[in-house]
Chains A and B, each alone.
Chain A
């Protein structure tokens, strides 16, 4: 069922590999997994889909290993998580020596003969997932039925006559009520009872129906408190009749039944002991809180019980462990657990959000850092806080590092050699500084000796064309044609207002090609990311003209909006493009950087969402205020207290 399972070290050596049913090469999907998830700090959830395969992975940070399992996307295998955990534990225990002592050489020289263990674990996991579901049902049914018959016989001996009388009267109405409520399975159980002996049968049927109703309620309401309310209701209905003679006893009896039923549902064990101990015990005790909790944990779900139990002992241990943990953290080598990291990560997350990082990105980042650090052994004299901070800092620097080259001049030179203009398109929402930064970039390009054609495709905003014309005039004054061999370095291509932007862009590019301009800068109108017709127009402009560089201009003041803007812009570009590989945003220009002091979080949000680099940073409104991004300085400002 599995396609493959790989274990490899973080340094890149494949330690063991298992090729399953269909065995295409395992390297490509795993490389893709590494590239997109681990390296981009998206390690929050641990599954990843690549073409037709779903990959699930687990990191072992203590020994620097990665465990990856791949299977077909259409299958949903429930035992995969458990399998990974088991394999992880086994592998680690088996080869612990080699990891600890010899380091890389140990990894190289050691042979990891893990196949038999793996096959065994795989078989166990498959079997366990297959068998679990039906058996639960059976035990429930069996125990219920058996308990009903046995217990009813014991219980009703004392009160049989009275109850029988009353029950007969209201049997009809009650039965209808209960049958409407009870689930089909229980109704069938109730129906089977009449086949038993006479009076006893009726009584048992009623009480069975009662019990069924209660269980139905309990099962469909998760909280214990809620189950209390239908229970008193059920009791009340039944209590309408028994209330005449003995409220306490009947209540106790009701509770007895339910308790026995739940005991049976959990496992078939306590059936025997129920009869004597619990029955007698309950009769004395009031149906109190403790009681509730008991069967709530058994009845509701195994999960809750498991959750509650460890939380209680861990809380106790936590008190003592906290003190020792602190000392240990200072001196010895302690391995990091989730609980240790959580408070620190919370603080870091709030700190990031205070620094203007988008909220969901801060959450995802902290998740991924937690995953990376879990189980790692800390060195001496390092506290949890410092380790987490270090890891977070590395993660942030990694995000800000460009995935591809950020050398615009180099690309322009390339285009120059091929005798075609290099086309750059600026897009973004209203008022972020597109036109201003366009002017700054054209100034920079002219300084480096390239001639620029500005295409005024903002045909909507009043004064847009005039603004660009003013810029052109000023730039030409700064760089007169005489000093550049008689060429006008900057020219404006405009067709007035109200025309189609994509058409103007196309004409501008062909004009530039004819006249021999090196660069074409296309200025577009600002638009909100929710405005569908405008987004379509922008996508058409970009798809039709195929620019070399699509720059998204975003201001550094934006907070959580950055995520929304970028996502919607990219989506619009992808949706409306006809080509196989649509042109998406290639780079980001971060503007108004001088207005934020150290709340530089917007840079992180934007690069995280698009994984594209920040090409320029705008730091003011004069022509010289253009910078490139320095990842370390930004991260330092971000992490500063």
Chain B
């Protein structure tokens, strides 16, 4: 929720936990007249899937923001959510471009994008197994049946996905402290590419 205001206006705004989505139009680059609508979805556990349901069909691209500092602790939760995003049938069909933005790079303990990529691949590998082994759902719609991330038999790799996946480092607060400019070049370049 902190990102879009920064991207859109370059200003630093206080934010709270969000309950609903908020959307705005973002002008890409300087000469291209392409416009992209940014939709920010709440991340709270009970809400995230609901909002994903609503917007996934219309998504041309997905930016998955990861907290690089808390990543080590929360790797399982992050992977779980990412798995659910990736396994969704609509997402697999449309194959929107996926950018994993590793945020909070200004903090010294932040993990690099490479490290995050490796960790996520390992976790998703494990999750493939556990999810397909989970008890089937009440009305029979099993989890193991339809979707299988990546290739069977080989360790999971992001290149096995039908969509383009990129990892980018960014920092919403900037390294100069609270009021500093945000460090968004990677993000903005990627947005310009997909527009």
Contact = CB atoms under 8 A, between A and B. Distances in A.
Interface stretch (B41-49, B89-97, B165-173): B41-49
B25 A398 contact: no
Interface stretch (A163-171, A421-429, A621-629): A621-629
Contacts of B22: 9-13, 104
Residue from B15, B16, B45 whose CB has the most chain A CB atoms within 10 Å: B16
Interface in B46-65: 46-47, 49-50
Interface stretch (B136-144, B150-158, B186-194): B136-144
Contacts of A626: 135
Contacts of B11: 108
A401 B8 contact: no
B127 interface: yes
A14 interface: yes
A107 to B, nearest CB: 8
B63 to A, nearest CB: 16
Contact of B134 (A30, A103, A593, A628): A628
Nearest to A40: B46
Nearest to B49: A401
Contacts of A630: 137-139, 141
Contacts of B15: 8, 12-14
Contacts of A30: 16-17
Nearest to B130: A409
A53 interface: no
A277 to B, nearest CB: 58
B19 interface: yes
A39 B18 CA distance: 10
B5 A13 contact: yes
Contact of B1 (A11, A17, A64, A109): A11
A404 B46 CA distance: 9
A156 to B, nearest CB: 69
Nearest to B131: A407
Given A39-B46, A404-B45, A34 B17 contact: yes
Contacts, number: 136
B134 A12 contact: no
Contacts of A398: 46-47, 50
Contacts of A105: 8, 24-25
Contacts of B176: none
* Secondary structure class of chain A's binding surface, majority of residues: mixed
B13 interface: yes
A317 interface: no
A397 B137 contact: no
B72 interface: no
A11 B46 contact: no
B24 A108 contact: yes
Contacts of A580: none
Contacts of A394: 50
A407 B134 contact: yes
Contacts of B45: 401-404
Interface residues of B, number: 44
Given A10-B19, A104-B23, A401 B138 contact: no
Contact of B137 (A11, A64, A627): A627
Contacts of B133: 409, 447-448
B17 A628 contact: no
A413 interface: yes
B24 A31 contact: no
A581 interface: no
A130 interface: no
Interface in A387-404: 394, 397-399, 401-404
B135 A108 contact: no
B44 to A, nearest CB: 6
Interface in A364-413: 394, 397-399, 401-405, 407, 409-410, 413
A515 interface: no
Contacts of B129: 409
Nearest to A411: B76
A473 B65 CA distance: 50
A628 B138 contact: yes
A66 B18 CA distance: 11
A369 B44 CA distance: 19
B138 A397 contact: no
A34 B9 contact: no
A393 to B, nearest CB: 10
Given A34-B19, A40-B46, A398-B50, A634 B138 contact: yes
Interface of B: 1, 4-5, 8-9, 11, 13-25, 40, 42, 44-47, 49-50, 76-77, 80, 126-127, 129-131, 133-139, 141, 143
In the A-B complex, the 9 residue pairs with the closest CB atoms: A11-B22, A12-B18, A14-B14, A12-B1, A409-B130, A630-B137, A104-B24, A401-B46, A633-B139
15 contacts: A10-B22, A11-B19, A12-B17, A13-B15, A13-B16, A17-B14, A27-B14, A31-B17, A35-B44, A64-B20, A398-B46, A404-B45, A447-B133, A616-B135, A633-B138
Given A103-B24, A409-B134, A633-B137, 5 more contacts: A11-B20, A402-B45, A403-B46, A407-B127, A630-B137
